[in-house]
Amino acid sequence: MRFLIRVVINAFAIWVVTLIPALEVQVKPFAPGETLQLVLTLLAIAAIFALVNTIIGTVLKIVAFPLYILTLGLIGLVINGFLLWLTAWITSGFGWGLTVGSFWWGVLAAIIISIINAVFGAILRPQKRQRRD
C-alpha cells in the first residue's frame, strides 16, 4: 500500500514539475489525446522512478556515503537528479515517457519532486498513538 501511495505522490510531483516550462521537463503520453493516457503515463513513470530510486538509488547512496559527509549531503541533490535523468532515459526507450532538457534541469526538477514528496509524506504519515497513563 505504501508503494502505491508513493507512486501516486511521485506522479503528482512529476506532473507539477512538467507544468513549469523553464525546467525543460516534459511527459510524452503513450497514446496521444485524452487525459487518461497522460495520467496512466505519469503513473508508469512514477512507478519506474520509484523502482530506480529504490534499487539503483540505494546502491549509489551507499557508495557515495563518503561524498555525503564531505559535501554535507549536497551530493544527494546530484544523485537525485541523476536518478530522474536515468528514469527519463529508461522511459524514452519505450517511445513514451519523461524527457529532461539537461542534467542540471533534472537536478532542479528532482529538488522540487523531493520537496513535494516531503510535504505529502508529512501529511500522509501515520501518526503514532500516544499512551495515556
At residue 14, the pLDDT reads 94
Domain boundaries, the chain: 37-118
Q: What is the pLDDT of residues 15-72, one digit of tens each?
A: 999 999 888 899 988 877 788 888 999 999 999 999 999 999 999 999 999 999 999 9
Return the C-alpha cell found at 112. 522540487
Q: Torsions phi, psi of 41, nearest 5?
A: -65, -45
At residue 31, the pLDDT reads 78
What is the distance between the alpha carbons of residues 97 and 95, in angstroms, rounded to a whole number? 7
Q: Residues 3, 53: contact at Cβ < 8 Å?
A: no
What is the distance between the alpha carbons of residues 96 and 116, in angstroms, rounded to a whole number? 24
What is the distance between the alpha carbons of residues 116 and 122, in angstroms, rounded to a whole number? 10
Q: How much is the pTM? A: 0.85
